[in-house]
Amino acid sequence: KQNYRIAVLPGDGIGPEVMAEAIKVLDAVQQKFGFTLDYQQYDVGGIAIDNHGEPLPPATLAGCEASDAILFGSVGGPKWEGLPPEKQPERGALLPLRGHFDLFCNLRPAKIHPGLESLAPLRADIAAAGFDVLCVRELTGGIYFGKPKGREGEGEDETGFDTMKYSRKEVRRIAHIAFQAARGRGGVVTSVDKANVLATSILWREVVEEVAKDYPDVTLNHLYIDNATMQMLRYPAQFDVLLCGNLFGDILSDEAAMITGSMGLLPSASLNADDFGLYEPAGGSAPDIAGQGIANPVAQILSAAMLLRFSLKQEAAANAIDTAVSKALSEGYLTGELLPAEKRDQAKSTSQMGDFIAQAVLES
């Protein structure tokens, strides 16, 4: 197939700023590799609330359904935080999209780019040992989706409650993904849970052990979430594939992003069993820097590369983007949040980053 339809959902905050750069890079890819991408843009999140009165308008969902893949920016911000939870951008659009398309498999690859160890916030000897992990996060279950969820009672007796729940089959399918991924990488899966306290985690551990029997060539370790967060800082080089439930994966992936230098470097793919996917930066709408043209577009650009790789099977084009991003970073072409304060005057803007990476794709 040579013509693809991409649903483009920029969303809120820095979403539209970094999306513009990803589209620039995808335009370069089209020129270079000869296939065509038909972008169809839709409102989602806060902007959709403002324009259509709801965070996930029917036209947006229909547009996603009619596409080969979804390229998503980020949603949410202070403007919509006062709304009832189900009407907010995150609970009303992003989670329903993940649920609707059964995007249970969230892949978040984080690595310290070789030569860029000094950008990482860790001590030099720790960063020098390297860091290259794939966070495999279950995305459509756990405490995010478990029922009942809500509020009950009154006054000081009022309660808020969420339900953390996993079925064997939900754990099994994400565990298989982690073991298969480990085979193509360092051969080690670290499953993260809280099996010393939580019933969900005890089941999780049992099922992961069962699945491990199909992969005798892969080493399986278990860590409790609290230990895992500290081990990530103590010696991150020990990890290869991190297998996590929805909530622990959310937390650990932000930590993984920051170990590489910035939230703005971490892309993600959210896939279903048919490799249909939604591709988005792991970070959010960054209201603190939105509108200034300084956000790092790399996570959005690398998410576009994942879209080409997983949903469109355009591996060469995906690799060209990865290489172009590496070129920018290794040549010191960086946005400000990656730089120490005394070097901020050398920072590149969001659009300078996109221009450089698009150009590098064309010249590859």
Q: Which is nearer to ligand NAD, 80 or 204 (CB)?
A: 80
* Of the residues 69, 252, 271, 295, which one makes contact with ligand NAD according to CB under 6 A: 295
Which residues are known catalytic residues?
144, 194, 226, 250, 254
Give the orientation angle of helix 350-362 with respect to helix 315-330, to 10 degrees.
130
Residue 96, interface with ligand NAD (CB under 6 A)? Answer: no
Q: Which does 57 bind (CB under 5 to 8 A by kind): ligand IPM, ligand NAD, Mn ion, none?
A: none
Give the orientation angle of helix 315-330 with respect to helix 298-310, to 10 degrees.
160
Give DSSP secondary structure letters for 21-64: HHHHHHHHHHHHH--EEEEEE---THHHHHHHSSSS-HHHHHHH
Residue 43, interface with ligand NAD (CB under 6 A)? Answer: no
Q: For the CB of residue 317, give the shortest distance to Mn ion in the complex, in Å.
A: 27
Distance CA 303, CA 318 (A): 10
Under the rule (CB under 6 A), what is the footprint of ligand IPM? 76, 90, 94, 250, 282, 284
Q: Is 250 annotated as a binding-site member?
A: yes
Using CB under 5 A as the criterion, what x/- string covers residues 236-255 for binding Mn ion? --------------x-----
- Backbone φ and ψ for 137, nearest 5 degrees, come out as -110, 130
**Identity (one letter) of the amino acid at 308?**
L
Query: How would you classify the pairing of strands 188-193 and 69-74?
Result: unpaired
Q: Which does 264 bind (CB under 5 to 8 A by kind): ligand IPM, ligand NAD, Mn ion, none?
A: ligand NAD
Query: With contacts defined by CB under 5 A, how many residues of the chain interact with Mn ion?
Result: 1
What secondary structure letter does DSSP report for 312? S
Q: For the CB of residue 138, give the shortest distance to ligand NAD in the complex, in Å.
A: 16
Q: Which is nearer to ligand NAD, 67 or 350 (CB)?
A: 350
Contact 136, 107 (CB under 8 A): yes
Q: Which is nearer to ligand IPM, 127 or 133 (CB)?
A: 133
Q: Which is nearer to ligand NAD, 28 or 338 (CB)?
A: 338
Q: Which is nearer to ligand NAD, 90 or 117 (CB)?
A: 90
Neighbour tally for 160: CB within 10 Å: 9
**Identity (one letter) of the amino acid at 7?**
A
Using CB under 6 A as the criterion, what x/- string covers residues 134-163 for binding ligand NAD? ------------------------------
Neighbour tally for 297: CB within 10 Å: 28
For the chain, how many residues are written? 364
> Which position has the token pair 């120490």?
340
**Identity (one letter) of the amino acid at 202?**
I
Residues contributing to the site for ligand NAD (CB under 6 A): 14, 18, 74-77, 90, 94, 262-264, 280, 283-289, 295-296, 299, 337
Residues that bind Mn ion (CB under 5 A): 250
Instruction: Please state the residue numbers annotated as binding site for substrate.
Output: 98, 108, 137, 226
